[in-house]
Structure 1
Amino acid sequence: MRKKHIKCLVGITVITATAMGAAVVPSSAAAPREQVVRPGGSIQKAVNAAGPGGTVVVLPGTYRESVLITKPGLTLRGTGGRTVIMPAKAGKATKAANTCAAGGNGICVVGTKTRIVHDVHIRSLTVSGFKKSGVWASWTNGLAVHRVTAKNNGTWGIAQERSTRGDFRRNTATANGDAGIFIANSVSEEGGATDTRGTEIQNNTLRGNRIGVTARRVRNLLIDGNLISGNCSGVFVVGDESKPAAGAMTVSGNRILGNNKFCAATPRLSAIQGSGIVLTGSEATVVRDNVIRNNVGATPLSGGILLFKSFVGALNTDNTITRNLVQGNKPADLANGDTTGKGNTFTSNQCGTSVPAGMCAK
């Protein structure tokens, strides 16, 4: 075929494709390229340079900075324990320090009420030694935190407020000052429980924190398949008198073992030790198929599974505790300390002791 004819056919092809509505993509168009950060480089500069939907890969090394993410769809990925993010060294702070650093946090994903940040992924890295939180999120939707180690942070290991559809999976949170994983409606104001629209906390390892998982004034989430040990308390579901009430969640398939660390009282909470699962001011929560062993203490909140009237008087209502293996916990494996609450049921639980007596399966 002669060159003239070939040129004609090419022109016809392009015109036909356009007429049929097909997109003609310039050869230069491509998915956002990866930003690669090497030791000595800045993760924040790479995040700033990445487009929405881009990826920042952080190579092995120790990075002394805080990272603020406000772009949707961004992925921040390290190399597991070999990628470590720690606070800037004393005297190294500059006027350019971001609000994440100013708040004492390691990695922050932050939107606003009118500009939610969607679908950020944080994977395979370690955040350690921050004054407040290892990972902090506010006003997000679809945040995924996977295979992150958060250790030795002053308050929370991984924390989320005012957010929906979070996915926290296969993380390790150890020796954090408060909860290993913390989910709340808001940390700065009172109000009814937030519907998290199916936030999932699954297959994490939570050791040596004040509390393994705290779900405070939230609804509609799953806490499943986690190993929770060596904390002062394993799982703490916190509600108050606000409406809607906290609850409508499932706590299932967890191994909650020997959470016997002692934590002194705070202005908001009595001393805690030896608590497996505590529900205060919760409604319609299902606690099922957990293994809860050897949680021992002598505080008002000690025991295997405990319903406790909240400190502001909110009652537990319509909660279901079923098919759990609860053994070796003291002062009791099961305890209903909220006898004024209505509709709470304990069925088919394998246990040795209960208060009041008679709640263990025969």
Structure 2
Amino acid sequence: MKKCHIAYLACTAALIGTGLGAAPPAAAHRIHVVHPGESIQKAVDAAQPGDTVLLTYGTYHESVDVSTPGLTLRGVGRGTVLEPAAGASTGTAPSTGSDAAKTGTAGKPGKAGKPGKPGKAASSCAAAGNGICVVGTKDHNVDGVTVASLTVTGFAKTGLYATEADGLTVRRVTAVKNGVWGIATEHSIHGEFRDNTARDNGDAGLFLANTVKEEQGATDTEGTVVERNRLEGNRIGVTVRRLRNLTLADNHLTGNCAGVFVVGDENKPKAGFVTVRDNRIVRNNKSCPKTARLDALQGSGVVLTGAEDSLVTHNVIKDNVGKSPLSGGIVLFKSFVGTTSDRNRISDNLLRDNTPDLVNTDTGKGNTFEGNSCRSSKPAGLC
């Protein structure tokens, strides 16, 4: 097996004259180039904060744990493909991700300017059925990681999973036919998810949550952005679960059972302060059966349940047709644990040929429907 090639990107201060008074050279950031057949994990483990691990064109049969702050893991486009290794987990039950996410054993944080040491959970990403895992701990977030320009497909749980991440950037990632989620995060803030494709995943194409297995009030993402993504053929295009302060904008959602879910429950604070704007949400008419936590789904554009102080505006929502209690273009629905949605504003959306366009079966207070272009509603009079 060839060794990983390493190219150095160093900016060194230029010296004019005799050399007296020269500034020290800037720290070098390395590019670790990996080819199919070589170990991505080995390159990641060798990387320092600020380095790039560049995956060339081809298929890699591997899962990867990332805990180095500031690392960029990048392919050269959709033709850089990560698939499970032979004999990897094939289960399809939802999971919070790696064991590291559950136990905080992803590794010991390093000293300032140096990466943490890999811990006992170094291979837990694959063991849990995930493709790429960006994992910090409760005491030490992994900061500033970027994953870009590659495909994750066929993993039993999640294509790309992150927990305890601050400033995670995911862009131009294609997550296809993973057992549960395409791209998922928990316990994370300041995220940027742009220009990704999540298609034909078992549950949500993009799943953003405070936590999955614990009862906890909604947490503040401090401005996470989900923008210009294409979400197609999943159970739900985007699920925002028990979070606050997040924006979904300019996404295209089609062919899912439901487009967007903003979900809260009885915990305090509620989910809310979510903005859903300028999205195109069309023909999300795939049929999905009832689960233990949710009724059967078909024909849902945007659903708010147990959420407060959120804004749904300037979206184009068409041809979402189904017979589920949650069917409709934009739906306010009392949560299944009895929590109401309050003070949400539904304004200036274009809705056509949904069944119906607007739905409010919630008994919450202060919800408003203003300036929408629509033709049908339940109850009548919302258009």
TM-score, normalized by length of structure 2?
0.86
Cα distance, 1:195 vs structure 2 = 0.3
Amino acid at match of 1:354: S
SS at match of 1:350: coil
Which of these residues, 351, 355, 359, is aligned with residue 326 of structure 1?
A: 351
**Corresponding residue number in structure 2 for 1:84:** 81
Instruction: Name the counterpart of 2:257.
Output: 232
Structure 1 Cα separation of the partners of residues 204 and 265 of structure 2: 19
SS of the residue corresponding to residue 44 of structure 1 reads helix
Contact 1:37-1:46 within 8 A present in 2 as well: yes
Offset, 1:355:
1.0
**Alignment partner of 2:246: what SS?**
strand
> Which residue does the alignment assign to 1:348?
371
**Secondary structure at the residue paired with 1:173?**
strand
Q: Find the partner of 1:51 among 48, 53, 57.
A: 48
Query: What residue number does 2:266 align with?
Result: 241
Contact persistence 1:32–1:50 (CA under 8 A): no
State the structure with more CA Rg: 1
Q: Distance in 2 between matches of 1:355 and 1:172?
A: 33
Matched residues in 2 for 1:136 and 1:90: separation?
20
Deviations 1:270-305 (A, max 9, x none): 100000000000000000000000000001100110
Aligned to 1:174: 199
Distance 1:92 1:157, change over 3 A: closer
Three-state SS of the structure 2 residue aligned to 1:313 is coil
The 2-side partners of 1:311 and 1:244 are apart by 17
2:161 aligned counterpart, secondary structure: strand
Verify: 1:34 aligned to 2:31, yes or no.
Answer: yes
CA shift at 1:30, angstroms? Answer: 4.0
May I ask how many residue pairs the two structures share in their alignment? 338
Give 1:348's aligned amino acid. G
Q: Quick check: 1:114 aligned with 2:111?
A: no
Structure 2 partner of 1:272: 297
Shift in Å, 1:96: 9.8
Counterpart amino acid of 2:24? V
1-structure distance, mates of 2:247, 2:229: 12
Query: Helix, strand or coil for the counterpart of 1:81?
Result: coil
Unaligned runs of at least 5 residues, structure 1: 1-8, 18-23
- Measured after TM superposition, the shift of residue 39 of structure 1 is 1.4
Relative to structure 1, the CA distance from residue 250 to residue 92 in structure 2 (aligned partners, 3 Å threshold; closer, same or farther) is: closer
* Identity rate, percent: 60
SS at match of 1:183: strand
**Corresponding position: 1:125 with 2:124:** no
Q: Describe the shift of the 1:286–1:96 C-alpha distance in structure 2 as closer, same or farther (beyond 3 A).
A: closer
Offset of residue 76 of structure 1: 0.5
Provide the rounded CA distance (Å) in 2 between the counterparts of 1:185 and 1:252: 22
Indicate the RMSD between aligned Cα atoms, in angstroms.
1.7
Residue 75 (structure 1) aligns with: 72
Shift of 1:123: 0.5
Q: Displacement of 1:81 after TM fit? A: 1.2
- Residue 142 of structure 1 corresponds to 167
3-state SS of paired residue (2:148): strand
Q: Structure 2 unaligned runs (5+)? A: 1-16, 91-119
Question: Does residue 206 of the first structure (1) align with residue 231 of the second (2)?
Answer: yes
1:25 equivalent in structure 2: 24
Rounded Cα–Cα distance in structure 2 between residues aligned with 1:77 and 1:225: 24
Q: Would you say the 8 A contact 2:88–2:126 is kept in 1?
A: no
The 2-side partners of 1:270 and 1:278 are apart by 13
- The 2-side partners of 1:165 and 1:88 are apart by 32
User: Which consecutive segments of 4 or more residues in structure 1 shift more than 6 A?
Assistant: none
Q: 1:185 aligns with which of 203, 210, 213?
A: 210
